[in-house]
Amino acid sequence: MFNQFSLVNDSLVLIDENLPFRWLDAWGNNVSKYVPSNGIPTDDTTGEMTSWNAEETGSNTTVNSVTANSLITMVTGATDFNGYSSQVKGTAFAAVSAKPFYFGGKFSLDKATDSDFLFGLCGIDTTLTAASSTHAIAVSAGGFFFAKLDTSTDITFYVYAAGSEITSIAVGTMDTELHTYEVYFDGQFINVFFDGVKVGCTDASIPVTVATPSISVRNGASAAVTLETAWLRFIQAN
């Protein structure tokens, strides 16, 4: 694979030559990015990711993965709704005209049906997915994110503003294999990709939401759910 550099808003962006929507890294005075490559630091006592805020339900475990080519492993407790809503501290992105961004990640869930999963950019929130009663998206601010909910294997991409859905795009079907989830905002359109294939785009009422990298995983039954993260990248050229 060969990569190439592109100048975007006076920032130097490293792009996958075969998949030009995929940003690998960027440098410049106006770059916002979160690109962990050698694990995510965790607290030895609590097991929490120290660079993230995590709102937990039940007893869960986060570890730097010992699996080949994996970044971090999150394991929920073994009770319905056990899990996390986790967000990076102090890293802000926004869908502002003419200021492109990219985010992507590669994940596997070991429970394709009995689980909740959310990944993307969301405003600061305490409960990205509901922690009790009914399995549901509970984003109270705005955001751009992939999600699937308990009892379903349907993966959907959502744009939210002030806690309400603006638009949605059908993405694919969850199974227990690794899959790649990516978004490229070109300054006007939000373009959505699943396993390297474009599944849709939208420019409908895109909110200028200040958002941060976000992950939520929850148990949907009575057995622990494991979310394996191979890689994460969030980059914006302001």
> What domains are defined for the chain?
39-237 (2.60.120.200)
- The answer to whether residue 43 scores a pLDDT higher than 70 is no
More confident residue, 171 or 237: 171
Predicted confidence at residue 212, as pLDDT, reads 92
Task: Give this prediction's pTM.
Answer: 0.92
**Candidate from 20-24, 70-74, 186-190, 232-236 with smallest mean pLDDT:** 70-74
- The answer to whether residue 192 scores a pLDDT higher than 70 is yes
More confident residue, 53 or 194: 194
Predicted confidence at residue 194, as pLDDT, reads 98
Q: pLDDT, tens digit, for every residue of 116-137?
A: 999 999 998 888 999 999 999 9
More confident residue, 5 or 196: 196
Determine contact, residues 212/142, Cβ cutoff 8 Å.
no
Q: How far apart are CA 176 and CA 81, in angstroms?
A: 19
Q: How far is CA 227 from CA 58, 60, 111, 119, in A?
A: 16, 11, 9, 11
Band (pLDDT 50/70/90 cuts) for residue 218 is very high
Those residues with Cβ within 8 angstroms of residue 190's Cβ, 6 or more apart along the chain or in another chain: 95, 144, 159, 183, 184, 201, 202, 203, 206
Average pLDDT score, the chain: 88
